[in-house]
Amino acid sequence: MRTLPPHTHTQRSVLAAGAVALATVAVLAVPQPAGAAENSPIGFGAGATGGGGATAVTVSSLAAFKTAVTGNSAKVVKVNGLIPLSGQVDVGSNTTVLGVGSSSGFTGGGLRLKKVTNVVIRNLNISKPLAPADGVTVEASTKVWIDHNSFSADRDHDKDYYDGLLDINHGSDNVTVSWNTFKDHFKGSLAGHSDNNASEDTGHLKVTYHHNQFSNVYSRIPSLRFGTGHFYDNYVVGADTAVHSRMGAQMLVENNVFRSTKVAVTTNRSSDVDGFANLRGNDLGGAATEISRVGTFTTAPYSYTAEPASSVVASVTSGAGTGKL
């Protein structure tokens, strides 16, 4: 049995001498192979099961998909083929949406999770979401797992021609974004849509990003306001500004790799109130950092394995995106 790399954390109660003491202990486990798909989310989105063991329904048209994802009963919806969208389709609670193979999904629009809970989005190609539709919007929703998807657009148009690839807003909470690819876009992932939304967002927007690849994405990798973000074991190539903590957001940025990136992490741009960021174990690849406030988020409140930055490129390039489940 091997000891996991540094920064693997958990807490458990131990009974000794008739008294209960709380101790922080290292998790001992055998790490999964590079790129291996987890069966459940790690991080703030832990507990999201979607449709669970419900009998799967396979759809190949927009009309059938809309019908299949409506309502809050447990359901698993498999998407077979690439479905054109105009705008967004609302997905109900207790839903798993799963792409078939490596090339199924949506283009031209996206999915909206609005005021729902317990949703899993996996193995979908989501491309060219024309404004004002994001590729995926998580709005006022909780317990969400977004895993092994391929998000993309192009950089041939104005930055506002497409909307965000993945946006999380309006007090959403407990979200994990894992093993996805984000390519060829201006605005990657925005968590917290406005500086003026403190009353709704403060105490929420808890998001984990791990083992994602961001390639030729200009900024918002991610941009987080007000919330708590854990960004670990991600691979960022070709960004202008990557991680952006603002409006008092607390971020732990751990064991990531940055290449051809101007600013890896900033806490003092574009908003009236700076954010906070703790950095450890990152390979900045020559990128600058702008850390005006460090903050208090140093230990994530869940068990996880942060592999060292030296193995992140191999893990993420082999394991992220569709077709890897």
- The catalytically annotated residue of 112, 122, 220, 225 is 220
Is residue 205 a contact partner of residue 228, using CB atoms and an 8 Å limit?
Answer: yes
At 204 the three-state DSSP class reads coil
- Cis ω on the peptide bond leading into residue 129 (within 30° of 0)? no
Whole-angstrom Cα distance, residue 283 to residue 301?
A: 24
Catalytic, 220? Answer: yes
Whole-angstrom Cα distance, residue 127 to residue 94?
A: 24
Q: Which amino acid is at 114?
A: K
Radius of gyration of the chain (CA): 19
Whole-angstrom Cα distance, residue 52 to residue 131?
A: 32
Is residue 206 a contact partner of residue 192, using CB atoms and an 8 Å limit?
Answer: no
At 312 the three-state DSSP class reads helix
Nearest CA to 215 out of 178, 249, 184 is that of 184
Is residue 46 a contact partner of residue 40, using CB atoms and an 8 Å limit?
Answer: yes
- Cis ω on the peptide bond leading into residue 41 (within 30° of 0)? no
Whole-angstrom Cα distance, residue 58 to residue 236?
A: 34
Output the CA–CA distances (angstroms, integers) from residue 311 to 33, 177, 213, 234, 285, in the order listed.
11, 19, 14, 11, 14
Is residue 201 a contact partner of residue 192, using CB atoms and an 8 Å limit?
Answer: yes
Torsion of CA 236, 134, 114, 75, to 10 degrees: -80
What residues act catalytically?
220
